[in-house]
Structure 1
């Protein structure tokens, strides 16, 4: 099983999924973390106005995030926008709210569930 956790510091889950620095991929097998890797967020917001054109029209797109998340089995999150949540549901990408902000604690809970 491969879980994905948004992070800014590799120790805690990022408060906002779409604005994190990177995503940790944790592969779990035989009750342990077999491997971990980190992928930069392809959808980082550079400023608050990045998702609107000059006319104010929305041009926000989560395509690159959905492609990334489809490479895992479960996306853990602390908070995310309503649009991203809807797109995850529409694309049948499993996600779950983390019970802790500590990545080791999140992984421990997942290990105990599997």
Structure 2
């Protein structure tokens, strides 16, 4: 599983960046903690190049924590930005760190969802 996790993290981030391109230029180091049965795997995500390594990410500005099985299920089912947002709101995933970064990411995702809702609401003509 550990050799698979960086690929899954990268796939999830790239999918999110494709859906919400406004996040692409964000320069940020994120620590990702995946909790399993009795262990925690820690990864470092460097953005904007989306490089994932197995590392403690002591210089991370934001740390994301969630259960490994939940993360795997989200990636497997092709989670969209709205799915990830709900996971954070429901407490299934947790983000800590510099609040300005967390708020910025949340605002960008919310604006994206708002625009997507408006596009669907417009009549076809």
Relative to the length of structure 1, the TM-score reads 0.26
**Higher share of residues assigned helix:** 2
